[in-house]
Amino acid sequence: MQLIFFCHPPFMQSQSMPRFARMIGEAMKERGHQVEYWAPQGRVHKLLSETRLASLTSLAKWAGYIDQYILFPIEVKLRLLPRRQANTLYVFCDQALGPWVPLVAQHPHVVHAHDLLALRSALGLIAENPTSFTGQLYQRYIRRGFRQAKRFISVSKRTTRDLAQFGGVAAHASEVVYNGLNQAYQPMSTQAAIDTLRQAGIPADERGHLLHIGGGQWYKNTAGVIRLYAHYAAQHPNPLPLLMVSPSPQSVDVQDALATVPAQGSVSFKQGLGNEAIQAAYSLAQLFLFPSLAEGFGWPIIEAQACGCPVLTTDDAPMNEIGGPAARYLPLLQASMNIDQWAQSGATIIDEMINTQVAKDPDLIKQRIEWASQFTQERAIEAYERIYQSIVDKTP
């Protein structure tokens, strides 16, 4: 096959999506397929960056829109003029690239769908993340584009449902392929984990710790994590510390939550850890707290499980879909709920999991590792290739 990957422009400074595109593309090259990457070049954006107006964020954004939605479509149409090979497939690496779908809607194509959180927010369905009027228009513009696609690959069943419910995409048009782990996480011995964390500047407690890993976005429920810990710590004279691999707290709700942590509790924030230190943090944790309000996939859940670490996450898709029977669950924290009542209930589960030593039970450790082992990049790549080939084969 000849695979043309539509990618986010480099000036967007996104890391995950370009990495995702390259991961698939390079794997397909190794399997003998021809691969090209198409993305806007950022001509207008570059011109603006060389002027005194470069510091104006709004102008930079509009310059990027010109590159993406005026100049790039012209470039794509010119590239499509020559007759392309019969076995060519156009692959959109993110449904957010929807405005470009109509350019190749009459050719074999597929869209990788990650999550529809931005669209759901724009539709007013997520109270915690209100969207501006222009943001609402932009998300509708994206949806109008990707609706014209005939085939999708979703990272979870939740994404498939959201595509149908909010995107207007027929459910049968989407096939689920779970993401594979980016790193070969596995349990690390207690002493090795302690040494690794101390080398990373983290004063590791030999008893272990409670752990949260997240980017601090609204859906990570950082304040909820800390409220859970505060209620747990209040019940013990010498509670386990909470390690937050997350940006330093800035929002009022997180600051308010920190103020409820009792004196005997300990909450520390750390950023920029390498993979080995993250593996050590999972391996030493007595419990991984991940009470997200929403997720696209939920990588940390299976990362923790791959290290044998117990997981307490949200009983809502895709978290319960990814965590499976190897995780424990909390109710989804909704805006109408009393956060302290929710946290007190969660603290009871935390106590139970720590007291029953689920982190050290060999059978449970084995269950968690076996569950996480199904999420491999090799399995994902094989599924992508199969779907790509089926689309090309069915094209007249």
At the topology level, CATH places domain 2-39+86-180+377-393 in Rossmann fold (3.40.50)
Q: What is the pLDDT along the chain (396 residues), one digit of tens a residue?
A: 999 999 999 877 666 788 899 999 999 999 999 999 999 987 776 666 656 554 555 667 777 888 899 999 999 999 988 767 789 999 999 999 999 999 999 999 999 999 999 999 999 999 889 999 999 999 999 999 999 999 999 999 999 999 999 999 998 999 999 999 988 899 999 999 999 999 999 988 889 999 999 999 999 999 999 999 999 999 999 999 999 999 988 889 999 999 999 999 999 999 889 999 999 999 999 999 999 999 989 999 999 999 999 999 999 999 999 999 999 999 999 988 999 999 999 999 999 999 998 889 999 999 999 999 999 999 999 999 999 999 999 876
Lookup result for tokens 């790193």: 183
Start-end ranges of CATH 3.40.50.2000 in the chain? 2-39+86-180+377-393, 190-372
The 3-class secondary structure across 292-338, one letter per residue, is CCCCCCCHHHHHHHHCCCCEEEECCCCHHHHHHHHCEEECCCCCCCC
What are the residues whose beta carbons fall under 8 Å from the beta carbon of 26, sequence distance 6 or more?
35
- What's the whole-model pTM score? 0.89
CATH 3.40.50.2000 fits 190-372, yes or no: yes
Lookup result for tokens 């949200």: 314
CA of residue 322 relative to chain centroid, distance: 12
